[in-house]
Structure formats: structure tokens, C-alpha cells
């Protein structure tokens, strides 16, 4: 008989998923714009498809982590794909997590530069140093910090999206939406993640999976029961996806203003109030931090053990490289290249997972 579920643990698991997925892409609006809003109302259908897939993925990773108790979180790839292919996914996802950490650095640099006109190196150093300090304190401290910060950022993002909808609801008329989309596309301001909304959705879930796999399988091992792990995964995925849908609609209502900008969410915030915009720039920075931390931890913990000297040296080295590269390549370009390419690779893992799940149920 399983233990009764611990509500606090479920809340921390859900909060950790939300915090991990927020990142510079969601918090800045760039990710939601490219993967969902750019397709009009078909993109909203893509967000609903994303919701269903993320519920499956997050709960599955946590449950498998609980039942299998992997020595290293990334061993989950071998569980699904076998020794050889699993090893390929293992190394590829580790590389992707590091590239995504660089995206977070670039996002922090772009946010503070766009809103406060600070040199890009300021935002890059702030996120690099904060991330380094948190990762060096280990997984449990990491989860405790980001699990509490994440839901707060999502709630504020939802408020921002809803306020934008209420102010610009007339712009959501389908005729107005698709005319506006055509205008920004003709001006080469609209960047899309894929040629179709459904491929964009699979790609989005794919790159999220390569972020989440090692982290959630390690987190699942901390659960008190299988039920606790599953509920935490389901709630985290649902709450994050609801936020995506609301923000996508908010961006869609203001697409002619937000398309082509590095930080679309700052334009939504500024539309409410310049003071709120200044506050939201800091909230974006917090969202970037909550994703940068587990991304960096994923890479360092893959090759070294926590709290060891080699763990500290590797983590410091990765932060230095991440800051240098993140200052070199434009943020929007990084998202479109890194996330999209890796998203399709992750989508292959999704199909393998579904096949293994169905095969297991037949037996």
C-alpha cells in the first residue's frame, strides 16, 4: 500500500517543472511568439496539443525516476532507448542543456539592455553568478529555490496576458489577426519555429523533454510514492500550458507591436504601465534564473558528483564559457536555431517513449 500523498511535495514538484520551463524563452515571450502566436489560432491548437503531451512527458519522467532510481538522471535515456541509442541521447541532451544555458545568458543580457539600456555584460554576469552560486549548493537546495519562485512568475505572466487581452480584445477578431500576421510576415518581422503549427508543437515538447528528462528522473527519486510523482507532473504541465495559452493570446492581440522585438513581453508590460514594465524586466530575469539553474546542474552533474572539487571546477568553467558565448550571438537567433533543431531530436524520443509505454501496457 502506497503512502498518502504529500501536498507540499506535489507543490514543489509542480513548481519545479514550471520554473524549469519558464526560462528566457517563455518569460521574454520570444518562445511563445515563435512556436504559437506566429500561427494565429492554429497556434492555440498547438498549445493545447502541447498541454496533452507535456502532461504525459512530465508525469512519465517523474514516475520512471521514482521506480527505477537511476544512479545518474540521464540514465533514463538508456531505459527508453537501449544502451547505444540511449547513450547518444544522453550526450546530445547534455550538449543541448548547455546550449540552452547559453540562451538563458543571452536572454538576461538582452532583457536588461532593452529595458534599462545597460551593457549586455551586466545581465549576463548577473545570471551567471546567481546560477553558479545556486548550483554549487546541490539539487535539493536548487529544487527548494526554483520550486517557490516559478509559480509566482507564471501567475504574474498570466496577469499580464489577461490584462493585454482585456485591453486589446477587439484585435482578436480572426480577420484582424490574420491580416496583422500577413503584415508582419511581409515585413520579415515574423519568425516561425516550423512550417506548420503541429510540427512546431512537437518540436516545442521535444526540446522541453531534453531539458526535463535527467532533472525530473532525479527529482522523481525523491518522491514518497508513485502517485505523488505522477500528480506533481500532471499539475506542473497543466499550469505551465495554461500560462502559455494565455500569453500566446496576449501576444496575438498585439502581434504588429510585438513581432520583430527581442523581448515581446516587455512591450505588453509597457502597454499597461512603464512602472510595471520596469518591474516585469526583473521578473523576466527571475524566470531566466529558474531555468538556467537546473540546465547548468544537468550538465555538471552528468560528468561529476555534487559537492566535489571537480564539480565546482566544471561548473565555474561552464559559466565562464556560457557568458562569453551568450554575449556573442543575438538572443532571438539563438532561440530559433538551438531550440528548433533540438526540438525535432527530442520529438524522436517522444515517439520512442509512447511506443514503450503502449508496449508495456499490452503486457
For residue range 248-275, what is the model confidence (pLDDT) as tens digits?
998 998 888 888 877 788 888 887 888 8
* Whole-number pLDDT of residue 228: 92
Average pLDDT estimate for 126-149: 81
| For residue 157, pLDDT beyond 60 | yes
With 0-12 / 13-18 / 19 or more C-beta atoms within 10 angstroms meaning exposed / middle / buried, residue 117 is exposed
pLDDT in tens, 349-363: 999 999 888 876 554
Average pLDDT estimate for 66-95: 90
Check: CB of residue 46 under 8 Å from CB of residue 198: yes
Handedness of CA 148, 150, 154, 156 (dihedral sign): positive
| For residue 107, pLDDT beyond 70 | yes
pLDDT in tens, 178-232: 999 999 888 878 888 888 999 999 989 988 898 889 889 988 988 888 999 999 9
Q: Grid coordinates representing 235?
A: 499539475
Check: CB of residue 158 under 8 Å from CB of residue 246: yes
Percent of the chain with pLDDT over 70: 95
pTM of structure: 0.84
* Whole-number pLDDT of residue 319: 96
* Whole-number pLDDT of residue 105: 92
Q: Which long-range contacts (CB under 8 A, 24 or more apart) does 120-127 make?
A: 120/327, 121/323, 121/327, 123/285, 124/323, 124/326, 124/327, 125/323, 126/285, 127/285, 127/288, 127/289, 127/292
Average pLDDT estimate for 148-174: 83
* Whole-number pLDDT of residue 315: 95
pLDDT in tens, 282-337: 888 888 888 888 889 889 988 998 889 999 999 999 999 999 998 887 776 777 77
CA atoms of 212 and 235, how far apart (whole Å): 15
Residue among 147, 146, 96, 117 at smallest CA distance from 289: 146
| For residue 25, pLDDT beyond 70 | no
* Whole-number pLDDT of residue 28: 78
Percent of the chain with pLDDT over 90: 38
Calculate the average pLDDT of the chain.
87
CA atoms of 266 and 288, how far apart (whole Å): 14
Please give the domain boundaries of the chain with CATH numbers for all domains: 7-352 (1.20.1730.10)
Chain length of the chain: 363
| For residue 170, pLDDT beyond 70 | yes
* Whole-number pLDDT of residue 3: 67
Amino acid at each position: 500500500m502506497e503512502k498518502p500523498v504529500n501536498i507540499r511535495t506535489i507543490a514543489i514538484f509542480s513548481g519545479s517543472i514550471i520554473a524549469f520551463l519558464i526560462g528566457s524563452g517563455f518569460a521574454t515571450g520570444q518562445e511563445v511568439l515563435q512556436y504559437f502566436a506566429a500561427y494565429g489560432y492554429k497556434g492555440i491548437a498547438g498549445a493545447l496539443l502541447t498541454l496533452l503531451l507535456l502532461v504525459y512527458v512530465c508525469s512519465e519522467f517523474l514516475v520512471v525516476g521514482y521506480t527505477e532510481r537511476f544512479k545518474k538522471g540521464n540514465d533514463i535515456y538508456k531505459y527508453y532507448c537501449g544502451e547505444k541509442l540511449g547513450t547518444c541521447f544522453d550526450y546530445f541532451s547534455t550538449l543541448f542543456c548547455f546550449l540552452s544555458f547559453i540562451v538563458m545568458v543571452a536572454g538576461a543580457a538582452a532583457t536588461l539592455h532593452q529595458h534599462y539600456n545597460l551593457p549586455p555584460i551586466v545581465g549576463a554576469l548577473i545570471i551567471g553568478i546567481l546560477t553558479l552560486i545556486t548550483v554549487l549548493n546541490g539539487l535539493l537546495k536548487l529544487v527548494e529555490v526554483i520550486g517557490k519562485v516559478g509559480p509566482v512568475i507564471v501567475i504574474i505572466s498570466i496577469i499580464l496576458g489577461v490584462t493585454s487581452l482585456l485591453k486589446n480584445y477587439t484585435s482578436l477578431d480572426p480577420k484582424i489577426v490574420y491580416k496583422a500576421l500577413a503584415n508582419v510576415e511581409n515585413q520579415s518581422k515574423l519568425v516561425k519555429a516550423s512550417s506548420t503549427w503541429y510540427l512546431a508543437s512537437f518540436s516545442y515538447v521535444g526540446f522541453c523533454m531534453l531539458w526535463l528528462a535527467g532533472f525530473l528522473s532525479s527529482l522523481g527519486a525523491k518522491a514518497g510514492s508513485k502517485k505523488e510523482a505522477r500528480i506533481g507532473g500532471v499539475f506542473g504541465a497543466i499550469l505551465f500550458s495554461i500560462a502559455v495559452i494565455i500569453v500566446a493570446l496576449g501576444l496575438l492581440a498585439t502581434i504588429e507591436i510585438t513581432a520583430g522585438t527581442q523581448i515581446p513581453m516587455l512591450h505588453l508590460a509597457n502597454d499597461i504601465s512603464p512602472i510595471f514594465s520596469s518591474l516585469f524586466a526583473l521578473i523576466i530575469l527571475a524566470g531566466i534564473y529558474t531555468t538556467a539553474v537546473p540546465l547548468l546542474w544537468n550538465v555538471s552533474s552528468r560528468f561529476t558528483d555534487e559537492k566535489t572539487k571537480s564539480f565546482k571546477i566544471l561548473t565555474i568553467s561552464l559559466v565562464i564559457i556560457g557568458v562569453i558565448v551568450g554575449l556573442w550571438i543575438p538572443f532571438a537567433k539563438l532561440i530559433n536555431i538551438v531550440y528548433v533543431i533540438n526540438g525535432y531530436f527530442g520529438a524522436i524520443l517522444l515517439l520512442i517513449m509512447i511506443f514503450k509505454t503502449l508496449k508495456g501496457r499490452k503486457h
